[in-house]
Structure 1
Amino acid sequence: MPAPREIHVYPHTGLPDRLQGTEGTGTPVEDAFVRAARCASLLYSEALGSLRSIVPRRSIRLMPGVKEVTELPVITVDVPGRDFGHVHLTTALLQVPPVERSRLALQVIHLAAQQATGRGSRATLQRCYDHAIDNDLVFRWNGSWSASPDRSRAARPTYRLDPADGWGRVALEIRDGDGDTPTVTSGEAVAFCTLEGFRRSAQTMRWSGPDSVEVVPYAGLVGQQAGRLIVRRESGAWSSAVTDDVHVRVPDLDLTSRPPVIDVVDA
């Protein structure tokens, strides 16, 4: 059976200041896993998407368990159908830092892909796994360069999503003329948690003269927009100003004991 196009841990969107979970209001364990899984899911799916000429247009949604949470340091994965799967979590997730949580989420996604394909595409799926590791579990996407009104320089928004809290960040880069190297990089503002959200935000970037460019950082669902990131030059010096209207919840982390080794296994 061919590999899927995308694998997402549900929910892959939500309210940034609320607990994430499969029933709208999740538990701290679900919240920690879902947020850490987003960058791993984006990177793994990015690699799968590059193989679209040989894989069908379908996706797998992984549902973290609400009741199936154990204190044992084990995460179990079960993909009984073609387009969905279950993930049974462990409270031990709260004792490992975000990067390790993201690695565990990547293992979950990789195992789910193997189960969905009958383990028949190991080489292909290993490349997807390696792609995420090679990128240090940080998903990045850049908008297109846009020239200033006098065409003396160009700007673009750059986005990243790492394991920290499950939401993206955006910065503006400015380059002179047609050069390849940015000469100015702004501070960061909170962006949405999906690639589609990054693209919506990038479409808002506007120059308001040759020395001022801005973008709306947060472009969520159903037209929701928030924040402002502006870069301008005054008296020959560039500066940036960030207005963040979005509060992002930081997942729980218990460092009172030594982090356990957590295994990811078939259910």
Structure 2
Amino acid sequence: MTVSWSDYRRARRRSRQAWGLLAAFAVSAVAALFWFFTAGQFAAAGPAAAGPTEAPVFDAAWMKPVAEPHPVPGGAAVSALDGLAVKGRVPNTGYSREAFGQAWLDVDRNGCDTRNDILRRDLAGVIFADGSTCKVSGGHFQEPYTGHAIEFRRGADTSSAVQIDHVVALGDAWQKGAQGLTPKERQSLANDPLNLIAADGQANQKKGAGDAATWLPKNTAVRCHYVARQISVKAAYGLWVTAAEKDAMKKVLASCPGQPTITAG
């Protein structure tokens, strides 16, 4: 059988097309596998492996509610965010820790100071100091901001490894409405379980007085809860947000539009 030159060219062209399609399919298959193992399968598993998605708030068995000037609105945190005023920061003039009362008072009058209340609430395997039912000397927990397992041991060189973070930093609160609160309300803000989380000391130091526009937990699994908690605190105490802060909060909540506000009681 004789094959013409035109038939040969057509066959060769079809062969090149077939190999091209096969190569494209192979590239697509490799890309799909890459997505599956980097973004698909493990994206779903990632947050759970990264640590907790929320942090404790209140234990009615031994804690008492702290009076808040306003009720935290129910429903979605993003809706509560839209209810907050948007303003710029006012000058930091007159700010001091003492403006929020003595550190770690027993504001709920349950017989224990606030720092030990929060350690008891947030740690597992709590150990009390000899002869005390308040003073926490040890424990462990899955720290929310880093997602790491951390051991707490009270001591001059070890206590600072676990610090109590003000979710809405007091310096931030001072520049966004807290100057207009009464001394008692500021004292409540500084000791309200809603506004307090036991945290990795280094992470807490890095946060400083930052808001959501300048600092978010490294552990992305807890960011929705963290931002919702900031919104809830600001609603409860009549504080405002800056435009940049609101934008940062909305960006976080876009990944969890159903995230509810948080209450302390």
- Scaled to the shorter chain, the TM-score interval is under 0.3
TM-score by length of 2: 0.22
Greater per-residue helix proportion:
2
Greater per-residue strand proportion:
1
TM-score by length of 1: 0.22
Structure showing greater radius of gyration is 2
